[in-house]
């Protein structure tokens, strides 16, 4: 049996009213799940802590900076969103500029069959994730504290003075009945800083390399991707601090109060702003 998008979203509702939960935990409405994109950098002072403790605190800071993903037991997974999974801001509660085609590509990558794949900024999907989970001081529907949450995840910690970066991408499969979206996470340090041109060249090349890695992964499984969304964040970590770059895609089921009055299936047609209005949130 092929799972439809309606089946997936109907099966992606968790047991808690105000909290999302990790996919695969008891109490969900079915076999569906949702994924969202998080890309943030945190830091911690080194004073009065050893390197291990500072790394722990900087990682926790990255989880709680920007889109709030704090207080979870993250379980690292490989990086796919299958036919029973839905990407928040794309498959459900779509971002308007993605749904209406007004988002412009930043570059193109050519598949083996000669088809040019548009590559778009990840920023609208990052903002969509934040609209669902909220911020540390303005939480919406974050995972329930202590939840076991599977995440496509990579992190990298570094002592300052140094630069730090994290990158994240999602490739959208052409045939969603048979194949999965692909997530790519990459992290690192020491961005060339001779001048702004050298820095930008490094980051532009990073985006090109990630796009190439996506095509290679598609070739490995004979999967064709029709479009890619990708982005990066960078930070300078001062001396006396530990920084942590985090690229993460949690696999979740929705809080019950995040479901519009019309039921789960309405998430397939409501835009992200319409969803906010339907569940009583202010942009």
Number of domains in the chain: 1
**Residue at 117 is within a domain:** yes
Q: Which of 234, 232, 251, 252 is nearest to 243 (CA)?
A: 234
Residue of 125, 116, 118, 117 whose CA lies nearest to 98: 125
- Give residue 196's pLDDT: 84
Q: Which domain holds residue 161?
A: 5-278
Report the predicted TM-score, pTM, of the whole model to 2 decimal places: 0.96
Residues classed as catalytic: 185
Bridge partners (DSSP) listed for residue 198 = none
Q: Please check whether residue 165 is in contact with residue 158, taking contact to mean a CB–CB distance below 8 angstroms.
A: no
Angle at 198 between CA 196 and CA 201, to 5 degrees: 105
- Return the closest-CA partner of residue 225 out of 235, 236, 211: 211
Longest Cα–Cα distance in the chain: 58
pLDDT value of residue 194: 64
pLDDT of residue 1: 61
Distance of CA 92 to the CA centre of its chain: 14
Q: What is the pLDDT of residues 203-227, one digit of tens each?
A: 999 999 999 999 999 999 999 999 9
**Which of 255, 32, 231, 261 has its CA nearest to residue 127?**
231
How far apart, in whole angstroms, are the C-alpha atoms of residue 281 and residue 276?
5
| Angstrom distance (rounded) from CA 50 to CA 29 | 44
Q: How far is CA 38 from the centre of its chain?
A: 4
Note whether residue 207 is domain-resident: yes
Residue 210, domain CATH = 3.50.20.10
Phi then psi for 265, rounded to 5 degrees?
-60, -25
Contact present, 165 and 191 (Cβ < 8 Å): yes
The beta-strand segments (E) located in the chain are 21-22, 33-35, 38-45, 73-77, 80-81, 85-87, 107-110, 116-121, 134-135, 138-139, 148-159, 162-173, 181-189, 225-237, 241-253
Query: What does the angle CA 39 – CA 79 – CA 226 come to, to the nearest 5 degrees?
Result: 90
Take residue 212 and report the two structure tokens written for it. 């190439």
Q: Is 78 annotated as a binding residue?
A: yes
Decide if 129 is inside a domain. Answer: yes
pLDDT tens digits, 73-120: 999 998 999 999 999 999 999 999 999 999 999 999 999 999 999 999
Classify residue 195: in a domain, yes or no: yes
pLDDT at 191: 86
Low-confidence ranges of the chain (pLDDT < 70): 1, 194
Which pLDDT score, from 0 to 100, does residue 119 have?
99
Count the neighbouring beta carbons within 10 Å of the beta carbon of residue 139: 13
Position 119 in a domain: yes
Give CA–CA dist 138/144, Å, rounded: 15
- Calculate the dihedral angle through the C-alpha atoms of 255, 258, 261, 265, rounding to the nearest 10 degrees: -80
Look at residue 283 and tell me if it is in a domain.
no
């Amino acid at each position: 049996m092929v799972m439809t998008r309606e089946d997936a979203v109907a099966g992606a509702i968790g047991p808690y009213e105000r909290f999302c939960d990790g996919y695969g935990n008891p109490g969900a409405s079915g076999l569906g799940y949702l994924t969202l994109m998080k890309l943030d950098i945190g830091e911690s002072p080194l004073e009065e802590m050893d390197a291990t403790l500072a790394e722990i605190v900087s990682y926790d800071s990255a989880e709680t900076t920007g889109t709030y993903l704090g207080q979870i037991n993250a379980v690292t997974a490989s990086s796919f969103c299958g036919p029973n999974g839905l990407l928040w801001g794309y498959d459900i509660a779509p971002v308007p500029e993605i749904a209406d085609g007004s988002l412009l590509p930043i570059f193109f990558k050519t598949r083996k069959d000669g088809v040019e794949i548009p590559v778009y900024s990840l920023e609208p999907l990052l903002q969509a994730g934040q609209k669902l989970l909220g911020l540390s001081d303005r939480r919406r529907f974050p995972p329930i504290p202590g939840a076991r949450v599977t995440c496509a995840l990579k992190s990298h910690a570094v002592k300052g003075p140094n630069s730090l970066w994290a990158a994240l991408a999602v490739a959208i499969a052409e045939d969603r009945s048979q194949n999965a979206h692909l997530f790519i996470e990459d992290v690192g340090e020491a961005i060339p800083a001779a001048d702004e041109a050298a820095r930008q060249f490094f980051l532009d090349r990073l985006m090109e390399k990630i796009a190439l890695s996506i095509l290679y992964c598609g070739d490995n499984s004979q999967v064709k991707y029709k479009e890619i969304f990708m982005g990066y964040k960078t930070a300078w970590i001062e001396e006396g601090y530990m920084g942590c770059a985090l690229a993460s895609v949690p696999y979740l089921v929705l809080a019950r109060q995040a479901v519009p009055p019309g039921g789960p299936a309405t998430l397939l047609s409501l835009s992200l702003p319409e969803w906010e209005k339907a569940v009583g949130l202010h942009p």
